[in-house]
């Protein structure tokens, strides 16, 4: 599969013949019907879609005074079909009847890329009189986080989205293909491929990514001071979910150390790759098996400071090397950048279990879970407490009247140097 979805928009082309009752023109790359050989080649839902470099969009628009049906395809260096449709729809329909209710149905050979999904979602947010249903033959680069976010953006704006089954392929064949009266003949493995595409789409829309096994969670998130031996070395795990203010889930997943990268760093790169809208607010909740090290707190602090539209909250099962001043400094830096960090209690463990674990039973709380959590929270409070630096009496955002830690002047200079605040 090649990335063919690049190029500058060229806008609508010349008019084509009018269709049914709609009194408007269509761009040059739009046709009343799709050749049946093109349909079989471009809409085939095989997992390996070699040389399918074009996107075909078969659409139907139903309104009180209009009914339109057409097939369009993207052109090399031209506008993507989704944006070509929006341009035509705004200029030819909405400009004349803005208050009319429209039902739009799309049959797409490829799902929208992240850029098109974002623009379609913005269009729907502005035009509440338009309802859109999308049927997809194949998912476009579905492993890319930004494309997954794009599909979830569409659903958050009320789009009904499904993979094309035999029924939708037959409907598309009857309505949009120049079939000369012939009946649609399913290709081999159509149903199997449909289930594969539907499962992938369902996983994306649910935000499911690499759920933890029950035993993995109970081992690595266990907050007891000492675990029964023998047990394997406990690694860093980070479970996260990204949601909009209205509660719509955009992404979630579980990360661990990989190639000498801590999961906090991997998460930062993943969020940046999504290219989130800077004008939109988001909430990012992170559940960690260990609190971040100093280097990770520095990166999280700079990340949170740069992305003010992102409400970051950290929950941790345990404090990493909390008896060392070096790692205590990291906890202070999170506090300084107003990134809330809370020790996980029974409620947080239960939430994490339900969201991030491939579970078949309720959360099996281990002995003294809440007691261990309370002790860890008290330890965190003591780390952040202390005598105030002369002239400063700020309080911790989640702990009333909690004073700034009694860091030495050298400690503060080192912290400021680490964060490169002078740059």
Q: What is the pLDDT, as a whole number, of residue 231?
A: 54
Q: Indicate if 273 and 242 belong to the same structural domain.
A: yes
Q: What is the DSSP letter of 187?
A: P
- Partnered with residue 310 across adjacent β-strands are 282
Give the residue carrying structure tokens 């209009």: 66
The CATH number that applies at residue 277 is 3.40.140.10
Q: Indicate if 141 and 238 belong to the same structural domain.
A: no
In angstroms, the Cα distances linking 60 to 19, 79, 125, 131, 135 are 11, 19, 20, 12, 12
CA-to-CA distance for 106 and 92, rounded, in angstroms?
A: 18
Say whether pLDDT at 423 is over 60: no
Instruction: Give all strands of the β-sheet with 341-343 in edge-to-edge order.
Output: 249-256, 237-243, 282-288, 310-316, 341-343
In a domain, residue 301? The reply is yes
Q: What mean pLDDT, rounded, does the chain reach?
A: 81
CA-to-CA distance for 197 and 47, rounded, in angstroms?
A: 8
Residue ending a domain, among 177, 206, 235, is: 206
Q: What is the mean pLDDT of residues 320-332?
A: 88
Q: Which range has the worst mean pLDDT, 277-286, 368-377, 390-399?
A: 390-399
What range does the domain containing 256 cover? 214-419
CA-to-CA distance for 369 and 341, rounded, in angstroms?
A: 18
* DSSP character string of 306-319: H-TTEEEEEEESS-
* DSSP character string of 241-297: EEE-TT--EEEEEEEE-BTTB-HHHHHHHHHHHT---TTS-EEEEEEESS---HHHH
Q: What is the pLDDT, as a whole number, of residue 5?
A: 42
In angstroms, the Cα distances linking 376 to 289, 320, 321, 339, 345 are 13, 11, 12, 18, 10
Q: State pLDDT tens for residues 88-143.
A: 998 888 776 667 889 999 999 999 999 999 999 989 988 888 999 999 999 999 88
Q: Which range has the worst mean pLDDT, 5-14, 45-54, 55-64, 403-412?
A: 5-14
Say whether pLDDT at 185 is over 90: yes
Q: Indicate if 262 and 284 belong to the same structural domain.
A: yes
In a domain, residue 8? The reply is no
Answer whether 0.95 is exceeded by the pTM: no
Are 189 and 43 contacting, i.e. CB atoms less than 8 angstroms apart?
A: no
Q: Indicate if 199 and 241 belong to the same structural domain.
A: no
Please confirm, yes or no, whether 214 is among the known catalytic residues. no
> Which of the following is catalytic: 82, 168, 264, 348?
82
Q: What is the mean pLDDT of residues 201-209?
A: 75
**Reduced DSSP (H G I as helix, E B as strand, rest coil) percent helix, strand, coil of the chain, to 5:** 35, 20, 45
Q: Give the CA dihedral 405, 410, 413, 419, nearest 10 degrees.
A: -70
pLDDT category of residue 393 using cuts at 50, 70 and 90 = very low
In a domain, residue 231? The reply is yes
In a domain, residue 97? The reply is yes
């Amino acid at each position: 599969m090649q990335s063919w979805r690049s190029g500058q928009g060229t806008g609508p082309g010349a008019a084509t013949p009018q269709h049914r009752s709609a009194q408007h023109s269509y761009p040059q790359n739009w046709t009343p019907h799709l050749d049946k050989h093109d349909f079989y080649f471009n809409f085939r839902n095989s997992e390996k879609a070699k040389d399918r470099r074009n996107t075909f969009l078969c659409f139907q628009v139903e309104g009180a005074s209009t009914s339109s049906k057409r097939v369009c395809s993207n052109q090399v260096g031209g506008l993507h079909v989704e944006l070509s449709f929006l341009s035509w729809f705004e200029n030819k329909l909405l400009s004349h009847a803005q208050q009319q209710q429209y039902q739009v149905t799309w049959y797409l050979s490829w799902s929208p890329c992240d850029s098109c999904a974002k623009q379609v979602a913005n269009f729907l947010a502005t035009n509440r009189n338009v309802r859109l249903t999308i049927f997809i033959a194949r998912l476009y680069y579905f492993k890319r986080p930004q494309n997954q976010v794009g599909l979830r953006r569409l659903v958050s704006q009320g789009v009904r989205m499904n993979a094309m089954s035999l029924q939708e392929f037959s409907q598309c064949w009857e309505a949009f293909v120049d079939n000369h009266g012939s009946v649609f003949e399913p290709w081999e493995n159509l149903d199997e491929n449909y289930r594969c595409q539907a499962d992938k789409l369902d996983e994306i829309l649910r935000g499911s990514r690499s759920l933890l096994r029950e035993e993995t969670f109970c081992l690595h998130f266990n907050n007891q001071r000492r675990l029964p031996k023998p047990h394997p070395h406990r690694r860093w795990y980070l479970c996260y979910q990204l949601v909009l203010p209205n509660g719509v889930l955009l992404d979630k997943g579980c990360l661990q150390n990989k190639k000498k990268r801590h999961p906090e760093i991997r998460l930062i790169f993943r969020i940046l790759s999504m290219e989130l809208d800077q004008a939109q607010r988001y909430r990012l909740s992170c559940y960690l098996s260990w609190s971040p090290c100093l280097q990770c707190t520095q990166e999280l602090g700079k990340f949170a400071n740069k992305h003010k539209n992102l409400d970051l909250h950290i929950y941790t099962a345990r404090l990493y090397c909390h008896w060392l001043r070096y790692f205590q400094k990291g906890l202070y830096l999170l506090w300084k950048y107003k990134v809330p960090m809370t020790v996980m209690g029974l409620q947080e463990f239960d939430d994490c279990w339900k969201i991030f674990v491939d579970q078949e039973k309720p959360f099996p709380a281990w002995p003294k879970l809440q007691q261990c959590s309370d002790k860890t929270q008290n330890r965190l409070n003591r780390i952040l407490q202390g005598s105030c630096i002369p002239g400063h009496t700020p309080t911790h955002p989640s702990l009333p009247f909690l004073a700034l830690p009694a860091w030495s002047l050298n400690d503060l200079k080192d912290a400021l140097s680490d964060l490169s605040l002078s740059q």
